[in-house]
Structure 1
Amino acid sequence: MKDKLFSLKEIELEINSYKNSEQAKLAARYFKTAKGEYAEGDRFLGISVPVQRSIARKYANLSLRDIIYLLQSNWHEIRLIALFLLEHRYSHPHKDPSFQNSEQIVTIRKEVYDSYVANFSKINNWDLVDASAYKIIGRHLYDKDRSILYLWARSKILWERRIAIIATFYFIQKMDFEDTFSLSELLLDDKEDLMHKACGWMLREIYKKDSRRALAWIEKFKLKMPRTMLRYAIEKVPEKKRKQILNAK
């Protein structure tokens, strides 16, 4: 028996039933939406992430067209739900309503990847990027040409640069570190603190997998690394070594 096919109207009604104006105000401050801040103008409904994930699980078989419609929303939480739905569709292509045979898997995943890239302008805050980039972009490019990441890393748009480095988290999980190292070097002069944090986070993830290689890269570039990137990268390093690295800068 097939799962029930939900409509766009049904998911929109359920999302709106969870609105919380007080939580929305808190979220707007937390995500820096004031004039001149990195998420200026972003709008919130005040729905918690666990609830958003629950909604995405319930409506997992929503059509790709409807998911992309949700991704166009001005509401932050609706865009995040859409990204959860896209990631589910990529990870579980056999649950796509149109799925008939295994030959469709490549096509379905390519459609999700293309839809994600075509809607970069709507993936415009750090949590939206971090929840989805490595699960869709990283996974898709793992066995393909990755040169597009370097184009995005040179973008004037903060979120495209963050997508490029966070996508490599998928590679790191597969013990493949070279693109993370190369992109982090390319981004050493980035002016945005959110990029320093993202690169430092990815370098820290490499350290957790292969401390020797991570420390070798950090030692090579520690004098050039922004302070925030360096601190994030060496967070798991033993205290004595961590102080030694910081004092050298």
Structure 2
Amino acid sequence: MNSNQLVDEVRAYCHKHSNPQNLQKYQRYFKGGYDGYGLTTIQITAKVKEIAPKLDAGIETALKAVPVFMESGMYEETSFGLLIVDSFEKELTPEVFDLIGSWFAKGITNWAHADTLGMYLLPKFLKKNIIAIEDFKPWLQSEYKFQRRCVPVTLIKSLKIVGIEKPMQFVEPLMTDTEREVHQGVGWFLREGWKLNPNEVELFLLKWKETAPRLIFQYACEKMEKEERLRFRRTKKGK
């Protein structure tokens, strides 16, 4: 199966299994808008497992198809592209990482696709030592908010291996980010770090409690007891 055939098969599958009721239900989770077919996650993942082994050139075929999927603006098509690429873990290279970085200008425009990258595909590059954490540094200043969000989300899976101190220092520039979706990603990262090393994370939060966006603290302190959360309330007026 070449890239054109891959696109055709995915689109035919999406049309066949489209579900207007699911489509209406999913739209509530995407404030920036949602265009799609209404497929379930189970339907998508099952089809990915069926398709991936059939690709003529493995990951190269998938990479050629991803921009075509993104051009449609249909949620499930991009999801298929990302998950098919993810299935070729043994074929990941620094060049593939760079290519993924270019996708934010083309079609990674919602939190779900950003988190698909951050939770599944991107951690594999770190796990296999294809790249280092420093390779994400340009992403911290990206003009695309979902690329910035990807950094803390990606690093969550590294915490049990490298600890919290270095990753926390690395994402610190995002503590002054202006975008809600980035605040959520940073807060999620800090919450997971707190589970492993509460003392380090709490010191970090105390450092930023008067200046960083409150949404970060809402997420970061979510698993704390009520009395613990009170320590991180802002003591002076601010957002």
Same topology, TM > 0.5: yes
Aligned residue in 2 for 1:126:
111
Structure 2: runs of 5+ lacking an equivalent: none
Q: Report whether the alignment pairs 1:72 with 2:60.
A: no
Letter in 1 for 2:186: C
Give the 3 Å change call, closer, same or farther, for CA 213–112 of structure 1 in structure 2: same
Q: Report whether the alignment pairs 1:148 with 2:135.
A: yes
Letter in 1 for 2:40: S
Work out whether residues 23 and 47 of structure 1, in 8 Å CA contact, stay in contact via their aligned partners in 2.
yes
Q: Report whether the alignment pairs 1:54 with 2:38.
A: no
Aligned residue in 1 for 2:17:
18
Work out whether residues 200 and 229 of structure 1, in 8 Å CA contact, stay in contact via their aligned partners in 2.
yes
Letter in 1 for 2:196: K
CA shift digits 1:111-165 (9 cap, x unpaired):
5434423323322211111122243333313544333322111112111111222
Give the 3 Å change call, closer, same or farther, for CA 123–178 of structure 1 in structure 2: farther
CA shift digits 1:194-221 (9 cap, x unpaired):
1111100000010111112211211222
User: Aligned-residue CA RMSD in angstroms?
Assistant: 2.6
Q: Report whether the alignment pairs 1:45 with 2:41.
A: no
The count of residues paired between Structure 1 and Structure 2 equals 223
Letter in 2 for 1:48: T
Higher relative contact order by CA 8 Å / sep ≥ 6: 1 or 2? 2
Q: Secondary structure at the match of 1:124?
A: coil
| Aligned residue among 95, 109, 112 for 2:92 | 109
CA distance in 2, matches of 1:232, 1:184: 15
Give the 3 Å change call, closer, same or farther, for CA 247–221 of structure 1 in structure 2: closer
Aligned residue in 2 for 1:101:
none
Write out the 4+ residue segments of structure 1 that deviate beyond 6 Å after TM superposition: none
Q: Report whether the alignment pairs 1:162 with 2:146.
A: no
| Aligned residue among 214, 235, 238 for 2:222 | 235
Work out whether residues 201 and 233 of structure 1, in 8 Å CA contact, stay in contact via their aligned partners in 2.
yes
CA distance in 1, matches of 2:67, 2:192: 29
| Aligned residue among 180, 187, 209 for 2:167 | 180
Structure 1: runs of 5+ lacking an equivalent: 33-38, 94-107
Aligned residue in 2 for 1:202:
189
CA distance in 2, matches of 1:131, 1:113: 14
The TM-score normalised by the length of structure 1 is 0.78
Structure 1 or 2: more helix by fraction: 2
CA distance in 2, matches of 1:195, 1:246: 20
Alpha-carbon deviation of 1:237?
1.4
Letter in 2 for 1:226: P
Work out whether residues 48 and 84 of structure 2, in 8 Å CA contact, stay in contact via their aligned partners in 1.
yes
